[in-house]
Amino acid sequence: MPTHETETNGVGPAAKQVAEHASSLARLELELAVLELKKKVASLGIGLGLGAGGLLFAVFALGFTFATIAAALATAVSTWLALLITTAILFGLAAILGVAAMMLIRKATPPVPEQAVAEARRTREALKSDART
């Protein structure tokens, strides 16, 4: 004759609890994947912004290069030397921003949620090993 204890500890409630835990785990893994993708997309956006900034400074540097050449031909050394220093500073800024952009873009690509995928694999393997025993 079934008692209250045997009814609450049966297979049905245990299966329901396992299903609830699996559903909760799946939701958490999906949330982890979304957070990881948001982080990578933000890093990619910042990297692209820095790259655009570097490109802008490179355009300005090119303009100052032509101004330097014109000043060197038209005036004394002091004016074109000042323009040449300005050009070097702009190229330096463009190089720094370009390197920073490349590092951030490499860090963000490919935009795959690696941690979430690894966690899902570990969960699947744990569930398979539990099912075998």
pLDDT surpasses 60 at 60:
yes
For residue 48, give the DSSP letter. Answer: H
Structure tokens at 21: 């835990």
Q: What is the domain partition of the chain in residue ranges? A: 10-132
pLDDT digit string, tens, across residues 74-102: 666 677 677 777 778 778 888 999 999 98
pLDDT, average across residues 47-57? 90
In sequence order, the 6+-apart residues with CB closer than 8 A to the CB of 79 are 71
Structure tokens at 33: 């994947």
- Percentage of the chain lying above the pLDDT 90 cut: 8
Shortest CA distance to 82 belongs to which of 96, 95, 64, 59? 64
pLDDT, average across residues 51-78? 79
Higher pLDDT, 57 or 25: 57
Shortest CA distance to 22 belongs to which of 94, 107, 129, 127? 127
